[in-house]
Every structure is written in C-alpha cells, then in structure tokens.
Amino acid sequence: MAQATGPSRPQPATLGDVARLAGVSIATASKALNGRSQVRAETRERVIEAAERLSFRPNQLARSLLAGRTGTVGLLTSDLEGRFSIPILMGAEDAFGAGEVAVFLCDARGDAIRERHHVRALLSRRVDGLIVVGSRTDPRPSLGRDLPVPVVYAYAPSEDPSDLSIVPDSVGAGRIAVEHLLACGRTRIAHITGDPGYCAARERAEGALAALAEAGLEPVGEPRFGSWSEGWGRTATAMLLDRRHEVDAVLCGSDQIARGVMDVLRERGHRVPEDVAVMGFDNWKILTSAARPPLTSVDMNLEEVGRAAAQAVFAALAGSPRSGIEQQGGRVIIRGSTAPLS
C-alpha cells in the first residue's frame, strides 16, 4: 500500500540491480555498459538488456565524485530580466548543452552579497567552471584569482586583466554602423545615443566618430547623450530638427532611441529612408521589425559572446587558460530604414 505521504516514487535502479538481474558482478556490468573490452559479447548483451528492462541510468553524482569532474558549469547573471543577459545565456547554454555539460543558473540581481553566496554554493556543488554574465559592458569587480575553477566574464569584463573576459566590440560596432551609412552615400550624419555613464554609449560614439574622421567627415553636431529610451530619441530629434541642421542620417545608440527618432522624423514630414536614414544598435527584433520602416540595426552577436565564453571555459579546463579581454564583432542587419541615396 502507498503511504499517506504520497505516491511511492520508485527508487531508480542502480548498477547493482542491473548486475543482479543479469547474473554478473557490478564490475562486469559497468564494463559492459561502458563499452569496455574485457567482456564477452554474449554477457554484454545480457547486461544491456537488463539495464533496459530496469531503465537504468547511471548516477552522475557517483560518477562525478569518482572522476573529480561534474560536467556542470555555473552561469552567474546579475539580472535575468536584463535585455542582454538572455542572448548570452542562450549562447552559453547552447554551447554547453550540445555536449554533456549541464548549466546551473543563478541570478545575483546585481547584489554583491548574493553573488558571493551563489559562488560559494556553486563551488560546493563542484562546478567545473563559472561564467559571469554582466548586464552592461562596464568593467565589474573580479571574483578573485584564487578560485579553484576557471572563470570567464561575459559582456561585462572583469576589472582584473589577469581574468578572461569576452565582450562585444562596441568601438568596432560604432565603426561599422557609420561605414554602412557612408556606403549608403550619407555624409551628414548625426549621432543620438544613450546614457553617457555607459561604456557602450561612449565607445560606440568613439567608433562612429573615428570612422567619420577617416572618411574626412565630421558628425552633424556633437553626439547627443541622454538615456536609452524612446522618449529621449524623440526629444533629441526635435532639438536636432529645430536647429535646422541638414541631416541625411541619424545613428542611434539603441533601437529604442531609434524608434523615437523615427517617430518624430515621420511626424515632421521627413521620409525614412529617402530623406534621412536611421539605424540603431542591438537588433532587438521586437523593436526593429515593427518599426516603420523596419529598422536597420547593429547586432552585437551576443549569442556568440555566450558561446565564446563557454568555449573559453572548455579551453581552460583542457589546460589552456587565457586572460585579458577578447572582443566579439557585431554585424549590420540591413532593413528598410537605411538605403542608398537616390
């Protein structure tokens, strides 16, 4: 009879059960199932059949305990709801999940205390490695050098240069954005971007200005820093137009800003892309594809960042740790909001 405490969940079969059913020793059963050679074909057959009858799955805990490796990795994010953590997390999950590695997900919510707590918990679960995912590209404190497992920082680099960090190339992203606009024949380019407290805003502007300078051009007005919002995009655009600046392209620091910019441009009778080309950063599809017209944007390849971080953990485990900051390039996704000047 089932106890009142609920349905009796059957204990999973152990290797001992399989061995007993097959009439062999535990050692032989193990070798048979793992393809070891010292087993007669007929015996192996019998063991495998027994294992299937019991739907035996080897206990990874025991295996890990013995091997000293768990095949698990901790993914420590600072804010799950964050726009940028998710794709990175997906890339990492992808790279690991394909193999035999499982991922522990922890959200520290930007709290250093909680972060330390999670690190300790993960270490006591004997993860083989750690990926620390930031929510913005500004450097963050290192977890320290003396951890017993390799650590890779993704998106937000560690302040300690002896750690390994994988980050998107914001300067390069600003550069390729401008190069795309130049290729469209645009020469009077304004830059409206987000919070100047963000590295990403400053570096994208830096790359954009550099690319303009190399083409012998100047931006229309100084880059306008503000906030990462549609509202700021609208405000800044209104200011820009009120100054009667001649503009044939607006490079926006984010897709949200670009949406605001496009709205005001349209309302004031400027055609996009015929009169003014607009592009954003991040390629946030919910924003880009619903824009009128769909928005050209620089995709920062965050999945790649996550994947690269995962591979870096593998590399470190295989004995080739790296250090420093490695950058992942972005790419321009061309949609209707940019087109060659006719």
Q: Work out how close the CB of 103 gets to a copy of itself at its nearest, in angstroms, rounded to a whole number.
A: 5
| Residue 107 CB, nearest approach to a copy of itself (Å) | 5
- Kindly state the smallest distance separating residue 204's Cβ from a copy of itself, in Å: 20
Shortest separation between residue 146's beta carbon and a copy of itself, angstroms: 8
The reply on whether position 261 binds a copy of itself by CB under 8 A is: no
Out of 34, 37, 38, 124, name the contact with a copy of itself by CB under 8 A.
124
Contacts with DNA, residue ranges (CB under 7 A): 11, 14-16, 23-28, 30-31, 33-34, 36-43, 56-59, 62-63, 65-68
Query: By C-beta, is 26 or 80 nearer to a copy of itself?
Result: 80
Is residue 319 a contact point for a copy of itself (CB under 8 A)? yes
Of the two residues 105 and 112, which places its CB atom closer to a copy of itself in the complex? Answer: 105
Cβ at position 318, least distance to a copy of itself in Å? 9
**CB atoms near residue 214 (< 10 Å):** 12
CB of 63 to DNA, least distance (A): 5
Which residue from 35, 41, 148, 246 is in contact with a copy of itself, where contact means CB under 8 A? 148
Three-class HEC string of the chain: CCCCCCCCCCCCCCHHHHHHHHCCCHHHHHHHHCCCCCCCHHHHHHHHHHHHHCCCCCCHHHHHHHHCCCCEEEEEECCCCCCCHHHHHHHHHHHHHHCCCEEEEEECCCCHHHHHHHHHHHHHCCCCEEEEECCCCCCECCCCCCCCCCEEEECCCECCCCCEEEEECHHHHHHHHHHHHHHCCCCCEEEECCCCCCHHHHHHHHHHHHHHHHCCCCCCCCCECCCCCHHHHHHHHHHHHHCCCCCCEEEECCHHHHHHHHHHHHHCCCCCCCCCEEEEECCCHHHHCCCCCCCEEEECCHHHHHHHHHHHHHHHHCCCCCCEEEEECCEEECCCCCCCCC
Binding mask 209-248 for a copy of itself (x = CB under 8 A): --------------------xxx-----------------
Q: Are strands 331-333 and 296-299 parallel, antiparallel or unpaired?
A: antiparallel
Of 22, 84, 107, 337, which lies in the binding site for a copy of itself, with binding defined by CB under 8 A? 107
Q: Which of 40, 116, 125, 245 binds a copy of itself (CB under 8 A)?
A: 125
Applying CB under 8 A, the residues found at the interface with a copy of itself are 5-7, 9-12, 57-62, 64-65, 70, 72, 75, 80-81, 83, 86-87, 89-90, 93-94, 97, 100, 102-107, 118, 120-126, 146, 148-149, 229-231, 256, 259-260, 286-287, 290, 316, 319-321
